[in-house]
Structure 1
């Protein structure tokens, strides 16, 4: 039984992510939790007002959130008719990151699936500010789905790695499950000008291979120009279906997320992007 958490702001991008989630798990028993976190909606325009109107606004947003979630759950049940799927709604007066972390812990969530941009995001950027914050701070695997991506089974998965950091088996387990379910190729892309690996890199590479027994795993290398450009070029040239990276301490992804601005993190994949968190939870 999979536990899947899907945050929603009721935008078309969020609806698209829900459709992707239901498709990718259509042959598995799964619990889907639809979450709407509305604290920012309340605090935004009313943080300077006294307690009475603030509490009134909180109640208004709470009721609106529950009504919209109820409609979303009912509409989803009507569209899917999948007896293996169950749906629950969670309305939370918290920030999105806090709500996701709390629900991930309390419901033992396996995966968060969300859109890359929300209702108000600039159409010219790939990842909205909420998505970037979730990548950074939510301690659970996160799959971000571009709003114009038409669902297809992830038959070809790209997993860039420099083999410098040790992986945790529980993070790699999700990748192995997906690869096994869809009989997928996993391309482990090493971006370096040098072919030879250190003993540490060889050990981590071997651990990766042992941890993905159900994947059709291959190891490939490309030279360094710009790592983000190298990843995007490989996706386009090899028609990949899913990009997977680990957000661990001192990793390329962490550097990219923390050193870049919200508007441009330097990576703009046109395919779903799975970020696995190599962090304690």
Structure 2
């Protein structure tokens, strides 16, 4: 892990994410890429368009640069290599572009979560990035004076399609020197016997040389509740899981457990796209 991307709107939540990024950067000698997105319609910044508001866009870019300078002056960023960039497009497209351009290893984003109608119809910018990002996304909810991960819950159905994401999770756990607690949540609607669950999990882990793990089956009314309740029971420092990156009508009707966790879990969540 050498390059960390931190999208920022200069809010408290975004700064909480940046503080975690700074800790990781100092510990593992990483560079930080700060990204601010101006979600201005393209016609508003097209000088050939009759409706162009180019001077306004330039003003907001200068304002963002000024905010970057203030942010980079914070003590916790001292002696770190910080790159700043401003993109004019939708946030998930801007994040995708910067990740590809600079070969980013990890995205760290802040979120205070959303709920109810706002979540259903709009969602959060963090949720949009989680849904679409090819790069692992670490979501931070609170300020962490010391970001340390000893116990890392990896929730999965332990089917073959999740092996690639578990390999990424192992890589992250090795960096942090964390123990992975493999978790399968059993629900009334999708009941699997304990024997069958244990057998599936054992076959899954056989493909990996990572002994620092435990295997756990937890019963609850929903997968989301099970993940959060199990994580609380062991006082986990981090929750990790795969995301399918569903979009459009499929996303609206089926939802996404990883996005629900991003919105509702109090603990940091890291997602790996299948």
TMscore range, shorter length: 0.7 to 0.9
Kindly indicate whether residue 220 of structure 2 is the aligned counterpart of residue 221 of structure 1.
no
Residue matched to 2:9: 9
Whether the 8 Å CA contact 1:257–1:265 is kept in 2: the answer is: no
User: Residues 222 and 134 of structure 1: is their aligned pair in 2 closer, same or farther, counting only changes over 3 Å?
Assistant: same
Whether the 8 Å CA contact 1:62–1:93 is kept in 2: the answer is: no
CA distance in 1, matches of 2:264, 2:34: 26
User: Residues 249 and 111 of structure 1: is their aligned pair in 2 closer, same or farther, counting only changes over 3 Å?
Assistant: closer
Q: What RMSD in Å do the two structures reach over aligned CA positions?
A: 3.3
User: Residues 22 and 123 of structure 1: is their aligned pair in 2 closer, same or farther, counting only changes over 3 Å?
Assistant: farther
Residue matched to 2:56: 57
Kindly indicate whether residue 86 of structure 2 is the aligned counterpart of residue 91 of structure 1.
yes
Correspondence list, 1:10-159, <5 A: 10-38=10-38, 40=39, 42-43=40-41, 51=50, 54-73=53-72, 75-76=73-74, 78-82=75-79, 85-117=80-112, 129-147=124-142, 151-159=146-154
TM-score under structure 1 normalisation?
0.78
Q: CA deviation at 1:173?
A: 4.5
Give secondary structure in 2 for the equivalent of 1:10: coil
Kindly indicate whether residue 180 of structure 2 is the aligned counterpart of residue 186 of structure 1.
yes
Which ranges in structure 1 are unaligned for 5 or more consecutive residues?
Answer: none
Structure 1 residues 208-249: Cα deviation after superposition (integer angstroms, max 9, x where no partner):
xx15x2x62111111242111111111111100000011137
User: Residues 124 and 272 of structure 1: is their aligned pair in 2 closer, same or farther, counting only changes over 3 Å?
Assistant: farther
User: Residues 272 and 223 of structure 1: is their aligned pair in 2 closer, same or farther, counting only changes over 3 Å?
Assistant: same
CA distance in 2, matches of 1:188, 1:234: 11
Kindly indicate whether residue 265 of structure 2 is the aligned counterpart of residue 269 of structure 1.
yes
Structure 1 residues 165-205: Cα deviation after superposition (integer angstroms, max 9, x where no partner):
42354x44442233223332210011234123388765434
Give secondary structure in 2 for the equivalent of 1:26: helix
Which ranges in structure 2 are unaligned for 5 or more consecutive residues?
Answer: 187-191
Kindly indicate whether residue 236 of structure 2 is the aligned counterpart of residue 237 of structure 1.
no
Structure 1 residues 71-99: Cα deviation after superposition (integer angstroms, max 9, x where no partner):
322x14x43434xx311001111211111
TM-score under structure 2 normalisation?
0.80
Residue matched to 1:176: 170
Give secondary structure in 2 for the equivalent of 1:196: helix
User: Residues 13 and 241 of structure 1: is their aligned pair in 2 closer, same or farther, counting only changes over 3 Å?
Assistant: same
Whether the 8 Å CA contact 1:167–1:204 is kept in 2: the answer is: no
Tell me the number of residue pairs that the alignment of Structure 1 and Structure 2 aligns: 256
CA distance in 1, matches of 2:214, 2:118: 32
User: Residues 140 and 273 of structure 1: is their aligned pair in 2 closer, same or farther, counting only changes over 3 Å?
Assistant: same
User: Residues 152 and 70 of structure 1: is their aligned pair in 2 closer, same or farther, counting only changes over 3 Å?
Assistant: closer
User: Residues 124 and 243 of structure 1: is their aligned pair in 2 closer, same or farther, counting only changes over 3 Å?
Assistant: farther
